[in-house]
Chains A and B, each alone.
Chain A
């Protein structure tokens, strides 16, 4: 079963009078429980593709089916619903609410999903425990290390049980040791049966995935399975 089925999508931006083709006729399928890395230099259309996959943006033309539902022409509100229920975002800069503690940050998507308070808190707590932050639930982002912040973000992405985890340069702001830990966490998530899409420009990070899609000038240059996937050592969850 395809989770993501993209057919001939293009994205054109107007910058002043000039038209910029960020994506040209991209066709792509991603199955359940795949671990895909999307690679490409900056300006390649990689970010546009990620925004498209994450339902943050809609294509200029072409069809995007998410879980067999056509989302390419959906309204803002319907897209928000899809993002809330089906997609877990992990960003390079963590993107946590700075004034809220870890628990509230993880709780947030559940608030927008309309989950009642007590159930919400319980699920958020469990998600934090799962990423190894059971003892940090009331810490605010500025009281946490970079790695811990990214774990909070991962917990937030997982708490709604989404169809895909979309990670945009998740190790970009971390030192290599912490980055490795986060990649270990992703590996566990993948092995637990989740679908992960990883956007990166680092070959070494991309090789954690089972499949690499290379983007250049708005089209897919190469789409291949990784021969020998790099499997990180088990994440030290309860350090």
Chain B
């Protein structure tokens, strides 16, 4: 063991001497590894970042909430089969609310996209969601200021608005939003509450932070009616354990409302956060496979480059190998020398790649929360080491088995 340690130590010193003597070549050689390691580290950190923000975002949808929609969020049903589905109307929602017994709360939502204004500040294409007071329960909102509109205000279609945190920040950068008059699609609304920050950028416009909530009646009256756009019924189960039960009941109730015969399929869909998760996992899975394929390819090309240079290096140093063998270097010693050299070159590439990845991830961090984790570092180091050993094996072996007499004669 001590002998091997000694050989590795001496081999490393020799490897560093050789690399130092050919710095430019070593750097160029290892470029493929640099690119490969940079991309593998960035890939894994970026995916981790996307994952984290997706998980944060998805939790705002709630694990115990069902969304009854005209269509499934993600499905592989043929479009022609489902395109004739009827919109879900507010009437149907009212009947659903009466008939469904197991939910904790149910609330309708109907969205429109409007310009929201306060004094000179104008925000275009803002998601305005019409709903009832029960929505505060189905969505589990908390407030940084004020409250949600009340049941009475909702039923009476008062012009009250609740602002998402981002909207409030933009419209009222310095003042309290509550009790201010804003214009939504040209109509006056009174702000009654501002939400805490809820979601994440992943959900885009669907992020509660970028939305305005108003009584559903005002939407139906002024902006869009339920003939044109289907209402979504938000159903919150009493707890996560009773989600399935609640779902069964919801399907039954909806079928009754729609008057479907036993033989007929559902003409509505019950969506869940789960659907989003599995769809997300599929997408990320594809990205991952593609990413690792590309990374693998660049590492492979890098490895071939290193193998090529190592062969050249062995050929160039035939005389040196002859000298070393003549004065007592064993096959193993020569093998080790060249293996260590290619490993060190790759390791340097790996470290350079890692540094680049860390810098790039700091840049990406401005958009997507990412940071290079220890496991990515371990991955990068081991990948570059393994590549170095594999790429160095054949050249090192060809050096080790050289005949000293022939090698010494080489000019």
Bits for B323-347, please: 1 = Cβ < 8 Å to A, else 0.
1111111111100000000000000
Q: How far is it, in angstroms, between the C-alpha of A83 and the C-alpha of B408 when the chains are bound?
A: 14
B112 to chain A, nearest CB (A): 76
> Contact partner of A109 among B17, B319, B327, CB < 8 A?
B327
A168 to chain B, nearest CB (A): 9
Determine if B21 is an interface residue (Cβ-Cβ < 8 Å).
yes
Interface residues of B in 236-256 (CB under 8 A from A): none
User: What total of chain B residues lie within 8 Å of the partner, measured CB to CB?
Assistant: 23
Interface residues of A in 129-180 (CB under 8 A from B): 156
Q: B411's closest neighbor in chain A, by CB?
A: A93
Contact, CB under 8 Å: B328 / A57? no
Determine if A97 is an interface residue (Cβ-Cβ < 8 Å).
yes
The B interface is mostly helix, strand or loop, or mixed, namely: helix
- Of A110-118, A181-189, A202-210, the one with at least 4 CB within 8 A of chain B: A110-118
Q: Chain A residues with Cβ under 8 A from B17's Cβ?
A: 99-100
> Contact partner of B328 among A83, A91, A97, CB < 8 A?
A83
Contact, CB under 8 Å: A112 / B333? yes
Bits for A19-61, please: 1 = Cβ < 8 Å to B, else 0.
0000000000000000000000000000000010010110000
Determine if A227 is an interface residue (Cβ-Cβ < 8 Å).
no
Also in contact, A112 and B331, with CB within 8 A (given A57-B405, A99-B17, A99-B21): no
Q: A47's closest neighbor in chain B, by CB?
A: B405
Q: Chain B residues with Cβ under 8 A from A85's Cβ?
A: 328
B323 to chain A, nearest CB (A): 5
Q: Chain B residues with Cβ under 8 A from A113's Cβ?
A: 328
Determine if A108 is an interface residue (Cβ-Cβ < 8 Å).
yes
Contact, CB under 8 Å: B331 / A76? yes
A54 to chain B, nearest CB (A): 7
Contact, CB under 8 Å: B325 / A80? yes
Contact, CB under 8 Å: B330 / A56? no
B42 to chain A, nearest CB (A): 37
Q: How far is it, in angstroms, between the C-alpha of A156 and the C-alpha of B330 when the chains are bound?
A: 18
Q: Chain B residues with Cβ under 8 A from A96's Cβ?
A: 323
Determine if B320 is an interface residue (Cβ-Cβ < 8 Å).
yes
Q: How far is it, in angstroms, between the C-alpha of A80 and the C-alpha of B330 when the chains are bound?
A: 6
Q: Chain B residues with Cβ under 8 A from A219's Cβ?
A: none
> Contact partner of A112 among B21, B320, B329, CB < 8 A?
B329
Contact, CB under 8 Å: A81 / B327? no
Contact, CB under 8 Å: A97 / B320? yes
Determine if A68 is an interface residue (Cβ-Cβ < 8 Å).
no
Q: Chain A residues with Cβ under 8 A from B3's Cβ?
A: 114
> Contact partner of A97 among B10, B323, B333, CB < 8 A?
B323
> Contact partner of A80 among B323, B329, B405, CB < 8 A?
B329
Interface residues of B in 1-45 (CB under 8 A from A): 3, 6, 10, 17-18, 21
Q: B10's closest neighbor in chain A, by CB?
A: A111
Also in contact, A108 and B327, with CB within 8 A (given A91-B408, A95-B319, A99-B21): yes
B240 to chain A, nearest CB (A): 66
Contact, CB under 8 Å: B21 / A83? no
Contact, CB under 8 Å: A56 / B405? yes
B321 to chain A, nearest CB (A): 11
Q: Chain B residues with Cβ under 8 A from A81's Cβ?
A: 328, 330
Q: Chain B residues with Cβ under 8 A from A57's Cβ?
A: 405
Q: How far is it, in angstroms, between the C-alpha of A177 and the C-alpha of B93 when the chains are bound?
A: 113
17 more CB-based (< 8 A) A-B contacts, given A95-B323, A99-B21:
A54-B326, A56-B326, A56-B404, A56-B408, A76-B331, A80-B328, A83-B325, A83-B327, A84-B327, A89-B327, A95-B319, A95-B322, A99-B17, A111-B10, A112-B324, A112-B328, A112-B333
Q: List 19 A-B contacts (CB under 8 A).
A: A56-B404, A56-B405, A77-B332, A80-B325, A80-B330, A80-B331, A81-B328, A83-B325, A84-B328, A85-B328, A91-B408, A95-B326, A95-B408, A97-B320, A100-B17, A111-B10, A112-B329, A114-B6, A156-B327
Interface set of B (CB-CB < 8 Å, partner A): 3, 6, 10, 17-18, 21, 319-320, 322-333, 404-405, 408
The 8 A-B pairs at the shortest CB distance, nearest first, are namely: A84-B328, A112-B328, A109-B327, A80-B330, A95-B323, A77-B330, A56-B404, A99-B21
